[in-house]
Amino acid sequence: SGAKLRKLDNYFKKLFSEEEKQNGRKAEEQLTLIHFVYKPLTEQQIKALNNRGITSADIKYYNICGRAEDERIQIPNFVKGCFTDVICAWEWDKSKVTNKNPKYLNSEGTEKSKTLFNVYNIDNNPEQIILCEGLFNAITAGKNAVASYGCSLSSRQCDLILEKEPKSILIA
């Protein structure tokens, strides 16, 4: 309804007003936010994650869960509260991966070049930020790791790392 959308819009503006003051940029120009829907993981999905080196602590920390519309595993990139700018859905069952059903699907409207996985969870002035290509590499590298969602880095992604003011950056 219109009232709910206005309330959500006001909530969004309040969440990002401080960021806009600090960065001099409008958050709406930087991010496309998606409301996140959670579905518990099945035992098979947990086993598939464990086989990739993902622990139960990682699952909880990164809010990894199932996807409501199919059996994929969702890996959200939380920005604020229950909002995320990218949700990567991983087809963990290799037998289901085809040209029409790729291994990874990103949420509709995703602009991967505008964000980094896990960057919003990292405090300012960390000892080190570890830059990885993929989500699973970043998750297994530790809580100060980010992923570029691919093999290249945009200037916006570089800015996101530099805004954290790390003492060092390790490229993994």
Per-residue pLDDT tens over the stretch 72-102: 999 988 776 656 778 899 999 999 999 999 9
The pLDDT-based confidence of 162 (bands split at 50, 70, 90) is very high
pLDDT, residue 28, reads 43
The answer to whether the beta carbons of residues 131 and 161 sit under 8 Å apart is: yes
pLDDT the model gives residue 35? 58
Q: What pLDDT is attached to residue 49?
A: 97
Q: What is the structure's pLDDT at 107?
A: 81
Is pLDDT of 6 > 60? no
* pTM of the complete model: 0.77
The rounded distance, in Å, linking the Cα atoms of 23 and 4 is 29
Higher pLDDT, 81 or 65: 65
Residue 130 structure tokens: 């570890």
- Tell me: the pLDDT tens digits for 114-145? 889 999 999 999 999 999 999 999 999 999 99
Residue holding tokens 């059903």? 101
Taking 80 as the threshold, does the pLDDT of residue 5 lie above it?
Answer: no
pLDDT of residue 109: 78
Evaluated on CA atoms 133, 136, 141, 145, the torsion sign reads positive
Q: What is the pLDDT of residues 97-120, one digit of tens each?
A: 999 999 998 887 788 888 899 999
Over the stretch 12-52, which tens digit does the pLDDT of each residue have?
555 555 555 554 444 444 445 555 567 899 999 999 999 99
